[in-house]
Chain A
């Protein structure tokens, strides 16, 4: 097992190299940045000078080598528009995305698994029918539409929640890091915390809806499948109580596919954050990336993609390791 962990850790390196190649190629293929940087009225001479200074006339592999070397040193270049260092800008935005994603993940996992278990145990009950219809609507609704509907109902019609943003600026809440909720708890600033929750609840729920539905459906179907297996029948035949049978015997095996789904959901949530953040004016990496794409600010696009991908790869790693831990039958050869 420990050699497997070590090997799996080492495999992160080639994957990230692959990612960097893809990102680099995307950046290079998209063409000549000089017009974006200099504006439409640049002369050919100015363009050529800039191309020279950016190193765009070097052969591709030289450019990639430089890109890789700089990236490894934490230098992701400067934004073409604002000229601020990309790494600085992306890292400043990152905690906001993490907090949004984590809250959504918790909502999705906790509610999804519980609803899935109850539905499976009480198959074909009214709870089962209602929650599965709810789960189906959850996985069927476009995240951006759900967000807009939330805003239309809870902000515009009812006036309960703020339309967009991270925190009410008039509160004078000035945390040291971007993990606002964490900071508010650490500083015992309950007024700010309440406001933060009000701001995060709509985007996080909209973001979680799909994963919640998927986790609930997956838990239900996987548990139903497990419950019908021989060893569960044996457990029942031994005279064990239904609760023990489900929780101790069936659930453990049933949750294996669910864990994979939850792990894959992390990427979905990070993807969804791109849309959610755009709609709710959330100051995270997602909205930064969309703005960068719209402005054709390639170094910034590349920085966002690289960072999010790195995080995602590490989460995948953890999921893979957990997979082997919960299902010892899986052979790692």
Chain B
């Protein structure tokens, strides 16, 4: 009990320090209107995902076959699909799937990719060579092809798509982090830290990684949006989420057969993907400006 209290007490100044660090960033971020709009829309999506059953006017799988292929009406604001399911409700439920894919696959790629990139860039030499050649093997496959190949092994499914997308995006993070580390580590303050006898992991963590946080954070915000796009693409190719799941890419893929007669089946899920990805991109952009005040005039 006493140990716990001591631990909490020792963490307090850390929290205060973090708050102090983030306050000016938050202040700058608030001034960036597009970023706020993007962040707000993303919060709205999270809200939709959490309360989907309460918000959606119909069930995602409720089919009224007599109302199939209807354009937008009062009871079905975005129309109905080929077996009379409400498109709006399916889109609302689809938020859950897309957000989950985005966050989980990026978390996976981030943890592995940043560690590998930092170690490779900092130590250089044989370690660098080994890690980056392994990354090269992964990077030697165009992302979507590798994701498809992994999906062929794992079998179709949304959970497997998360893993596939996560694996495929690891080298991207590793490369960016390594590149940033390479440029940061030539700075005098790193030499000073070395001369001061700090252990390597402290230098990497406190002096290198914290200084390249901006590109990492911006990269991961964009990464979430890319993961959502990739998952939709896999769903579109029939390798990701499987019918009857209300996944946006899958809805597009089913709708494309009726592109001529019922284009709303293609328009709306696509608009939703674009808006989701756009909001994340706007937020990431604003975050980037807020994190790097040197860029602000």
Chain A positions within 8 Å of B, measured between CB atoms, are 11, 14-16, 18-19, 22-23, 26, 29-30, 123, 136-137, 139-145, 148-149, 151-152, 156, 217, 221, 224-225, 228, 260, 264, 267-268, 270-272, 274-275, 278-279, 289-290, 293-294, 301, 304-305, 308-309, 312-313, 316, 330, 333
Complex interface: chain A residues within 8 A of B277 (CB): 139-142
B182 to chain A, nearest CB (A): 7
**How far, in angstroms, from A309 to B225 measured CA to CA in the complex?**
25
Contact (A152, B259) CB under 8 Å given A15-B140, A18-B140, A123-B297? yes
| 25 sample A-B contacts, Cβ–Cβ < 8 Å, listed by A number | A11-B136, A15-B136, A19-B141, A22-B141, A26-B152, A29-B153, A30-B152, A137-B274, A140-B281, A142-B252, A143-B233, A145-B266, A145-B269, A152-B266, A225-B295, A268-B142, A268-B143, A270-B145, A271-B143, A274-B142, A293-B237, A301-B149, A308-B141, A316-B136, A316-B139
- Whether B295 contacts A309 by the Cβ 8 Å rule is no
- Whether A316 contacts B149 by the Cβ 8 Å rule is no
Complex interface: chain A residues within 8 A of B148 (CB): 274, 289-290, 293
**How far, in angstroms, from A142 to B145 measured CA to CA in the complex?**
16
Complex interface: chain A residues within 8 A of B281 (CB): 136, 139-140
**Among A11, A22, A142, A267, which residue has its beta carbon within 8 angstroms of that of B232?**
A142
A157 to chain B, nearest CB (A): 9
B105 to chain A, nearest CB (A): 16
B window 224-275: CB within 8 A of A: 225, 229, 232-233, 236-239, 249, 252, 256, 259-260, 263, 266-267, 269-270, 273-275
- Whether B142 contacts A144 by the Cβ 8 Å rule is no
| Complex: chain A residue closest to B278, CB-CB | A140
B contact residues, range: 35 or more
- Whether A148 contacts B259 by the Cβ 8 Å rule is yes
**How far, in angstroms, from A64 to B133 measured CA to CA in the complex?**
21
Contact (A313, B295) CB under 8 Å given A23-B149, A26-B152? no
A330 to chain B, nearest CB (A): 7
Complex interface: chain B residues within 8 A of A313 (CB): 136, 140
Identify 9 new A-B residue pairs, CB closer than 8 A, beyond the known A18-B137, A142-B249, A294-B238. Answer: A140-B274, A142-B229, A225-B295, A267-B139, A267-B141, A278-B237, A279-B256, A308-B145, A312-B142
| Complex: chain A residue closest to B266, CB-CB | A148
**How far, in angstroms, from A76 to B266 measured CA to CA in the complex?**
38
- Whether B252 contacts A148 by the Cβ 8 Å rule is yes
| B59 on the A face (CB < 8 A) | no
Complex interface: chain B residues within 8 A of A272 (CB): 144
**Which of B137, B139, B143, B238 is most buried by chain A, counting CB atoms within 10 A of its CB?**
B137
**Among A145, A228, A316, which residue has its beta carbon within 8 angstroms of that of B140?**
A316
Contact (A15, B133) CB under 8 Å given A30-B153, A309-B142, A316-B139? yes
| Complex: chain A residue closest to B276, CB-CB | A140
Complex interface: chain B residues within 8 A of A23 (CB): 149
Complex interface: chain B residues within 8 A of A289 (CB): 145, 148
B window 119-151: CB within 8 A of A: 124, 133-134, 136-137, 139-145, 148-150
Digitize B206-237: 1 where CB-to-A-CB distance is under 8 Å, 0 elsewhere: 00000000000000000001000100110011
| Complex: chain A residue closest to B297, CB-CB | A123
Complex interface: chain B residues within 8 A of A16 (CB): 140
**Among B124, B136, B141, B239, which residue has its beta carbon within 8 angstroms of that of A333?**
B124
B165 to chain A, nearest CB (A): 12
**Among B124, B133, B144, B236, which residue has its beta carbon within 8 angstroms of that of A11?**
B133
**How far, in angstroms, from A9 to B134 measured CA to CA in the complex?**
16
| B282 on the A face (CB < 8 A) | yes
| B84 on the A face (CB < 8 A) | no
Contact (A309, B140) CB under 8 Å given A145-B252, A156-B260, A330-B182? yes
- Whether B152 contacts A275 by the Cβ 8 Å rule is no
Complex interface: chain B residues within 8 A of A278 (CB): 237
| B294 on the A face (CB < 8 A) | yes
**Among A148, A217, A271, A279, which residue has its beta carbon within 8 angstroms of that of B144?**
A271
